[in-house]
Structure 1
Amino acid sequence: MTRLLALLYAVAAYAVFLLTSLYAIAFVSGFDFVPRHVDKGPGAPLAQALTIDVALLLLFAVQHSGMARPGFKRWWTRLVPRHVERSTYVLASSLVLILLFWQWRPLPAVVWQVDGPARVALFALAACGWLLVLVGTFLINHFELFGLRQAWFHMRGLPPDRDVPFVERAFYRIVRHPLMLGFVVAFWAAPTMTLGHLLFALATSGYILVAVRFLEERDLVAHYGETYRDYQRRVPMILPLPRRSARDTGAARPMAAP
């Protein structure tokens, strides 16, 4: 019964995440069929709106990065069983996003507006960004990433699958973090860029760059060692820009991540 409850909890957390993610697409894209989005919601004076929006973005950054750190996980799993730790993280992230959607204050001043065929092209580019995020999760392990695999293994009485080999495939041969590239594309491919949307895009893009470079990459190096360092040398982090080899630059091959 305890194992079944853990699995049901993981499924419920995943369902909340799925609905939140679908709403996030509408929120960022500014679709009017949702009650609130980045440009639609309760108004506020400029200073108050900036304060609230920045606080919401900081809250998400602290929660999302803090709960993902190995040190926090070691402490957290003393309180939360390991087989639902990831589901709890996914649920917490979803709840913080729901709070952001609910309390976000629009800043409606238009920075740029694109009309005609270019507008359709930008919407299509944003859709490609979201699709890249989705496909990227399945190229690693979608169900482990969102906690279902761990709860399923526990339900069946199987040991957790901890020794996952490092594998390069598809988009991961072009950039090390295609999910993050997809988010950046989706956030910036806006036919109508308001001040609020610009704040959201700048803050989330900055968070992605800092968190990936100084937190996630450090954890991956600690886990995979020289295998991941070699991957860093060969493949760009987020932007698919060509790398210049040591032979091209006349320099020795670096032994640490760029």
Structure 2
Amino acid sequence: MKIISQPKTYAIFANPAHRKLVDELEKNGSKVFQFAPLKTEKIESAKNIEIIKNALTEYDWIIFPDVYAVEYFLEILEKQAIDLFELDEILVLACGEAVADRLRFVQLHADIITSSGDANVVFSTLLNYVGESEMANTSFFIPKEVEFSSGLKERLIEANAQVTEMPIYQMFINDKMENAKLKTLLKGGAIDEFIFTSPEDVIFIKNYVLPEILPEMFSETKISGTNEITIRSLNENELKAVRFYNKERG
């Protein structure tokens, strides 16, 4: 028996693959706001390439803050014909399951998978693993987005660790009006449910709402994910998500 749901206002990041889902939701009279995904661009300077090559032998740890940091780091390795086996001697920390999942896809093992990318969580996890007395003898390499700053570098430096952050990609908001529209709709409680379909969507929303606090922006909006890894990414960013179920499919 088909369950008839009341029309709602949804939001989703636009993607041709979602066309059927959007059509089904709109068929029932629901409104669907589709927001543009953010564009990303790899930073591949000669200096960056040299730093990455050195990182494979000079650092004890690589910390991956998000899935794009993984993807662009691996792209540079591949372009430089650097074998992934050269990473075997380096310890790897993945900030969240989505990052670890992306590493597993290329058969790279994460020695630590944190429950979130929060600087305090990551630092505490590392401190427990490395030991306070060994921090001064430990070096960390963090490939990241240009504007990304979690405060982790400062925490590690306070513990006398050696830290190098390297911008490896940049994220762009092309339409400032759309950015303002999304914030206004969320703050006003005008979106009943925001549907997330990938860990990348979670990165997009974090950048869309900056400098606002992410959970507070969704205080009036239901959050759903279409798959388990996306739901985990949402939960890791303090967004309580449920599995999306489209009642219009019957």
- TM-score scaled to structure 2, two decimals? 0.25
Higher strand fraction (1 or 2): 2
Higher helix fraction (1 or 2): 1
